[in-house]
Amino acid sequence: MPILEVNDLHIYYGMIHALRGISFTVEQGEIVTLLGANGAGKSTTLRAISGLIPKTEGEIIFEGEELGKIPAHQIVGRGLSQVPEGRRIFATLSVEENLLLGAYLRKNKKEIRKDLHYVYKLFPRLLERKNQRGGNLSGGEQQMLAMGRGLISRPKLLLLDEPSMGLAPILVREIFNTIREINQQGTTVLLVEQNAALALDLADRAYVLETGEVSVEGDAKTLAQDSRIRRAYLGA
Amino acid sequence: MLNLKGPQGRWNFFMIAGILGLYGLIQLLAAAKILLSYHLQILSLACINIILVVSLNLIMGFTGQFSLGHAGFLAIGAYLSASLTVFYQLPFWLALIASGLAAAFVGVLIGLPALRLRGDYLAIATLGFGEIIRVIILNISAVGGPRGFTGIPRHTTFGLTYFLMIAAVVIIKNFIYSAHGRACISIREDETAAGSLGINTTYYKVVAFAIGAMFAGVAGALFSHYMQFISPTTGQIGFMRSVDILIMLVLGGLGNLTGSVVVAVFLTFLPEFLRGFAEYRMLIYPVLLLLMMLFRPEGLMGKTELSYSYLENIFSKFKRKGLRPDGTN
Ligand SMILES: Nc1ncnc2c1ncn2[C@@H]1O[C@H](COP(=O)(O)OP(=O)(O)OP(=O)(O)O)[C@@H](O)[C@H]1O
Ligand SMILES: [Mg+2]
């Protein structure tokens, strides 16, 4: 049974038909990437899975349970967390306070300490800056903080929306290496990316969205060789 | 619970000693007739204003929900408590509790539908709420209608307002520094991000409104039983009162408790020292606000709170300077 299954999902923003019936699956332990041009509907898909926007039609099944009417704040508790596009960290709160908000649903202080430690081990820079205001971090550090904040709830499935956005190539490498590490430690990852080359390199499977529909899907290594993909997204 | 060990404990100890000491000093000066009942009245009003500003700070400053109807909760507390003590001869403490609970209840009622609104729309809705409360009072002849409610017994003492003010500040401070408070602040910072972390944003907005309204209701009860008279036409409870509270909050800094306390005291005293201030305050406030935006956009205190860690910071800077007389670091 896949950990996440999306069937014929339709989303409207008022009159705009943003998702026109997309279907895909994510298996336990995989990294799946969702590619597509600006406005294709990638973020919309993630927001719908997290329950942040209502779906018009279709099914979103997480671990065999339809998420349909479950409010966003309960979905996180089921083991699904999202690192939103543009990081969206809490600027006036300290780094550690930002992280603690990610663990907000849990009560066990000892466990939270342990997970805080886990995040600091993944991102040592956050430890150095734990008392600094989130808003004063660099873009790359903010991305790490956003990822740490998503990871501290120990999700089974992590949704990442363009983690490479606006970062220098070397930092992008670092972030992608961390994603691989997170995955190897047992977290399933659904990754939305503009950087198709890197994403296809990292992922097991990929889906390409085009104006609200899945146009191509398949094994990541195969797609990286696909001439259509190469022309449209890899600049070859 | 209350920690009295270590440096933080010593700080707590000094704070408690300071709070009790200040109270003792004021009572002593009152007994020696140096502070007259007129002075005690101003001090009591300052305490009531602190409760109002700090409670609005929870709603607006920390949770980020624009509210222009805070005086509406004050009015509920003021009139309900007066009705209970005058018409039903209820003991004052019971009326006080009832006022807080009733205001909190109305806060939730208002909160649930209003909190679907954001920003400007919420401001307009809360403004409407405050005026509706005032108009309702205006039309109930049992509580005096436009002539006002007279003959309220004087049950409020300086000591009561003082300690309830301390309680309000301490409770709201502890709330803000808890996980719940962080959740409220995250809503102010970025509501969508807060929601995606599993924070029930509606719940926290309603909780902030309920707690804020409750303290405003208590402040109302204290107010009517101090002034012994309350009226819907003298600016005690209407829109202008909400604006008064709001201005104190903004001058002290949204999201800063120390600033709220300092400004509430200052702006309560100012009209007493400055003749004519009360009439011209709506001219002076905008100027003050403009100056504030130019020179201190983050409010009087900026981000600093009077706290142990703040003093420790200053102190450690001193120490470092002391060790290096040449000024290097
Ligand atoms: N809140 C909204 N209201 C109305 N339309 C929206 C809203 N959010 C997104 N859209 C529209 O839905 C479509 C899909 O947007 P979405 O944000 O999902 O794109 P995306 O694939 O994530 O793009 P990008 O790579 O630029 O982030 C776009 O046409 C966008 O204009
Ligand atoms: Mg997007």
Kindly list the domain boundaries of chain A, sorted by start residue.
1-78+156-163+189-236, 80-154
Distance between first and last Cα of chain A: 37
Helix axes B239-252, B70-87, angle to 10 degrees: 120
Residue B85 has pLDDT above 70, yes or no: yes
The CA distance from B251 to B264, in Å, is 9
What is the span of the domain harbouring residue B217?
37-240
Token pair recorded at residue B135? 């108009």
Tell me if B15 is assigned to some domain.
Answer: no
What is the rounded radius of gyration, in angstroms, for the C-alpha atoms of chain A? 17
Sorted by sequence, the CB contacts under 8 Å of residue A48 that are 6+ apart come out as A9, A11, A19, A54, A55, A60
Nearest CA to ligand 1 atom 25: A38
Worst-scoring range by mean pLDDT, A189-203, B63-77, B293-307? B293-307
Residue A16 CA: which ligand 1 atom is closest? 5
Tell me if B235 is assigned to some domain.
Answer: yes
Q: Which A positions 37-56 lie with beta carbon below 8 A of chain B? A: 50, 52
A26-41 average pLDDT score:
94
Token pair recorded at residue B70? 């805070």
Ligand 2 is an ion; residues with CB less than 5 A from it: A 43, 85
Tell me if B216 is assigned to some domain.
Answer: yes
The CA distance from B154 to B70, in Å, is 24
Q: Which one of the ligands is nearest to A47 CA?
A: 1
**Which residues, in sequence order, are bridge partners of residue A13?**
A16
Query: For residue A92, how far is its CA from the centre of ligand 1 (angstroms)?
Result: 28
Number of domains in chain B: 1
What angle (nearest 5°) sits at the alpha carbon of residue B191, between those of residues B185 and B196? 110
Would the CB of A44 count as within 6 Å of ligand 1? yes
More confident residue, B295 or B309: B295
Q: What is the pLDDT of residue A87?
A: 83
Give the three-class secondary structure for A101: helix
Task: Classify residue A86 as exposed, middle or buried by CB count within 10 Å of its CB (0-12, 13-18, 19+).
Answer: middle
Tell me if B79 is assigned to some domain.
Answer: yes
Tell me if B174 is assigned to some domain.
Answer: yes
Per-residue pLDDT of B170-229, as tens digits, reads 999 999 999 899 999 999 999 888 988 888 888 999 999 999 999 999 999 999 999 999
Closest CA–CA distance from residue B55 to any residue of chain A (Å): 21
Q: Which fold has domain A1-78+156-163+189-236?
A: Rossmann fold (3.40.50)
Token pair recorded at residue A41? 């509907």
With tokens 């120490």, the residue in question is B319
Would the CB of A104 count as within 6 Å of ligand 1? no
CA B227 to chain centre: 18
Q: The complex's ipTM?
A: 0.83
Give the three-class secondary structure for A215: strand
With CB atoms and an 8 Å threshold, state whether B182 touches A72.
no
Q: What is the pLDDT of residue B59?
A: 94
The CA distance from A61 to A110, in Å, is 32
| DSSP 8-state secondary structure symbol assigned to residue B61 | I
Tell me if B207 is assigned to some domain.
Answer: yes
Per-residue pLDDT of A145-174, as tens digits, reads 999 999 998 899 999 999 998 888 888 999
Tell me if B185 is assigned to some domain.
Answer: yes
What backbone phi and psi angles, to 5 degrees, belong to B79?
Answer: -75, -40
> Nearest Cα to B236, choosing from B102, B100, B87, B78?
B78
Tell me if B140 is assigned to some domain.
Answer: yes
Residue B327 has pLDDT above 50, yes or no: no
DSSP run (H or E) holding B182: helix B179-189
Q: B182: which chain A residues are within 8 Å (Cβ-Cβ)?
A: 93, 97, 100-101, 104
Q: Counting one residue from A and one from B, how many pairs have CB atoms under 8 Å apart?
A: 67
Residue B263 has pLDDT above 70, yes or no: yes
